Chain A
Amino acid sequence: MQLFLFWCAALLMLVFGVAVILNRNPVASALSLVVSFLGLATLFMMLDAYFIGIIQVLVYAGAVMVLFLFIIMLLDLRAENLRKINWPATAGGAVVAFVFLIQVLSVIGRLTDAKKTFPPLARSTIDDVRNVGVTLFTNFNFPFQVIGVLVLVATIGVVVLSKRELANK
């Protein structure tokens, strides 16, 4: 049963992942990305990482995706005109990606742990937001602060990038 659900979620994620890069229309791509991330969130939940699954939905499906859609709308990006596809380049890229996948899979195949199942947990981690929080504020307090500064810098950067154009007007 679990295995079936796992493959459902995984296939959902992968199929819509492929849809992201194959869709010609950016809006369709963005919406595919949302679905792909929903599948990913399911996988997180199946790994007993409820908090991560929740913020995956909140941040990606909620914030980031809105941002993408907003920009696509703002720039009024239509479906791309059919340009001449550079077939050698496309084929080369596909080959490189494929070789890369084979390589990674072979690395995973060599990994002895890869054949083991997950050990059982003592109890449900449905309340793991507390555990993540404790870890975050004890072991990773300083990086957490740094991340805060980074977000601040990013915010300022975004403002500056957008505002310079306004000043020119």
Chain B
Amino acid sequence: MITLGNYLTVSAMLFTIGFAGVMLRRNIVIILMSLELMLNAANLSLVAFSRFHVDLRTSLPNYNAQVFVFFIITVAAAEVAVGLALIVALYRARRTTHVEDLTTLKF
């Protein structure tokens, strides 16, 4: 049977993939996608916990976690919109989406 551990493991792997993407990729659009992967990995564990902690009274999943996921999806959508707008603005200014070219902060 499927255990909670299975889901958590898969979630951890997905998160690590996203994490690695943020660290390794140099295209800022891909980095943004990797961030989405990480957020969704968190969603997965939340839903798994929601299903795991069944309400004793109604014998239904704990919906608080699912509302949480709902919020995360909403915020993630907003974040993507703003992030992409920033990328557009950045691209207009610097003609690049490559983070190695964005070194204004460098001394």
Contacts and interface: CB of A to CB of B under 8 A. Distances in A.
**Chain B interface helix/strand/loop/mixed:** helix
B36 A64 contact: yes
**Chain A interface helix/strand/loop/mixed:** helix
A106 B20 CA distance: 19
Given A26-B27, A118-B2, A135-B66, A147 B33 contact: no
B104 interface: no
B102 interface: no
Interface string B29-41: 1101110110010
Given A49-B47, A94-B24, A131-B63, A161 B86 contact: yes
Contact of A158 (B17, B71, B74, B82): B82
A51 B66 CA distance: 9
A136 B2 CA distance: 29
B37 A33 contact: yes
Contact of A10 (B10, B64, B79, B82): B10
B52 A21 contact: no
A123 B78 CA distance: 35
B91 A75 contact: yes
Query: Which range holds the interface residue count of chain B?
Result: 35 or more
Given A6-B6, A104-B16, A67 B81 contact: yes
Contacts of A93: 20, 23-24
A26 B78 contact: no
Query: Which range holds the interface residue count of chain A?
Result: 35 or more
A154 B81 contact: yes
A68 B37 CA distance: 14
A109 B3 CA distance: 12
Nearest to B25: A21
Interface in A103-146: 104-105, 108-109, 111, 113-123, 125, 128, 131-132, 134-136, 139-140, 143
